[in-house]
């Protein structure tokens, strides 16, 4: 399973730079860049909410799910007790 980050697409549609988004959301440019390139393992709902507010979008505009071909969805699942 893979979560695809489309932050760069949404930013381009809104004609917003990384610097401008960083200032509006209060997140470092380094962390935004890592998120934009999909190199993060997770995102807090508070951060996602701030991005959606600044970009005037929905969480689904930023994040998308893509199933891996030939793998079982349960392979990567972690049991939370």
Q: How far is CA 30 from the centre of its chain?
A: 14
The structural domains of the chain, with segments of one domain joined by +, span: 2-68
Q: Are 63 and 2 in contact (CB under 8 A)?
A: no
Mean pLDDT (whole number) for 5-11 = 96
CA atoms within 13 A on the CB side of 41: 1
* CATH classification (class only), 2-68: mainly alpha
**pLDDT score of 8 more than 90:** yes
Residue 79 has pLDDT above 50, yes or no: no
Is the separation of the CB atoms in 72 and 33 below 8 Å?
no
Whole-number pLDDT of residue 32? 95
pLDDT digits (tens, 9 = 90+) for 20-57: 999 999 999 999 999 999 899 999 999 999 999 999 99
Place of tokens 């934009």: 36
């Amino acid at each position: 399973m893979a979560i695809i980050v489309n932050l760069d697409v949404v930013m381009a549609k809104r004609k917003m730079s990384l610097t401008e988004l960083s200032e509006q959301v209060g997140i470092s440019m380094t962390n935004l860049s890592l998120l934009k390139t999909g190199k993060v393992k997770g995102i807090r709902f508070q951060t996602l909410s701030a991005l959606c507010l600044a970009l005037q979008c929905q969480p689904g505009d930023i994040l998308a799910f893509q199933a891996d071909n030939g793998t079982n969805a349960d392979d990567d699942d972690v049991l939370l007790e």
